[in-house]
A and B are shown apart, each in its own frame.
Chain A
Amino acid sequence: MENTHHTGGHAAAHAEEHSFDKKAIWRTFWILLIITIVELVLAILHFSTGFPPKLLLNGTFIILTLAKAFYIIAEFMHLRHEIRNMIMTIAVPALLFIWFIAAFLWDGDSYRNLRNRYDPYHKEQSMPKKAPEHEGAKPGELH
């Protein structure tokens, strides 16, 4: 399994024979399937009992998703068995996503806070404490 091609160049990377281990493929499949089932069970559990708190649940989902992504890229897309420089040219730009995601989600949160602070109408419309009989109130109507 751990055949890294330190010596071979591009040609050698494609020439090796035993690179596809059928057992490893099926093992990856089972891992992916089990992770998906676990995610599903957690989602249903939360839906029916509310047991894992939403924040914890979402953290778990994200970790499990990244695990699945790792297995698909490493085994199915075979990246783990490529030459090291190849791995790096893919992995390093992908790290940009961390910044990308953090920055934008932060921005989204900031939009929400700004809007709630400066647009009381928006806040009133989108907050649950509003009495139910106002549900059908027309936008702009005074009450």
Chain B
Amino acid sequence: MMWYFLMSDAFTFGAFLISYGTVRFSSNSWPDPNYVFRSFPVIGEMDIPLAFVSLMTFILIMSSVTMVLAVAAGHANDKKGVIKWMLWTILGGLAFLGCQAWEWTHLYHQGAWWGRNPFDNIDGTAASTNFTNFFFTITGFHGFHVFSGVIINIIMLIMTIKGVFERRGHYLMIEKAGLYWHFVDLVWVFVFTCFYLL
């Protein structure tokens, strides 16, 4: 069933990203992501664009790996392993959310928010607010998915610690939570491409 929920969720995200694509195609010009996303915490403005968002991508892929390892441990009925890898996954999710919170705060202080766009188009003309509206809506929606994923993972962790799955004899629930978590990672791959690279 999880797969079919994920299908429907994929179409929701797909609709968001495609409407973003449509609006972008209908605009004569668009802000340059390499210019907009060039900051890094503490170091500040850097000459290397996209460094911070790459770190976020790395964190999310890493947490996906630890999730697979948790599922694998569940297959082997290894309770300790599941707990260990679930903890790492939750940590990764929280780290990603922290990074996103920083990024949003930074952009907010630069003057970007829903309905406000301080960044000019790449060709120097004034940009509409489409860019920031789509950016905050879609990364916000994705961030909310990450947030719910972390909550689900925490619930799974508590159930594992209490031995619910051990008594049940299988760790299928971990697998389902894992599917959701990988889906969040999958969506991020597309969000990353659509907003930061293209």
Contacts and interface: CB of A to CB of B under 8 A. Distances in A.
Interface string A47-81: 10000000000100110010011001101111000
Given A32-B61, A33-B58, A58-B198, A76 B22 contact: no
Nearest to B73: A20
Interface in B86-129: 121, 123-126
Contact of B193 (A61, A89, A94): A61
A16 B33 CA distance: 46
B54 A44 contact: no
B3 interface: yes
Contacts of B138: none
A89 B186 CA distance: 18
Looking at chain A, what size class is its interface with the partner chain?
A: 35 or more
B159 interface: no
Given A26-B65, A43-B50, A62-B193, A72 B182 contact: yes
Interface residues of B, number: 54
Nearest to B194: A65
Contacts of A90: 3, 7
Contacts of B10: 94
A105 B21 contact: yes
Contacts of B189: 65, 68-69, 72
B21 A25 contact: no
A104 interface: yes
B179 interface: yes
A130 B123 CA distance: 11
A100 to B, nearest CB: 6
Interface in A115-140: 115-116, 123, 125-128, 130, 132, 135
Interface of A is mostly: helix
Nearest to B183: A77
Contacts of A75: 68
Interface in B11-57: 14, 18-19, 21-29, 34, 48-50, 54, 57
Contacts of A104: 18-19, 21-22
Contacts of B7: 90, 93-94
Interface of A: 14, 17, 19-20, 22, 25-26, 28-29, 32-33, 36-37, 39-40, 43-44, 46-47, 58, 61-62, 65, 68-69, 72-73, 75-78, 86, 89-90, 93-94, 97, 100-101, 104-105, 107-109, 111-112, 115-116, 123, 125-128, 130, 132, 135
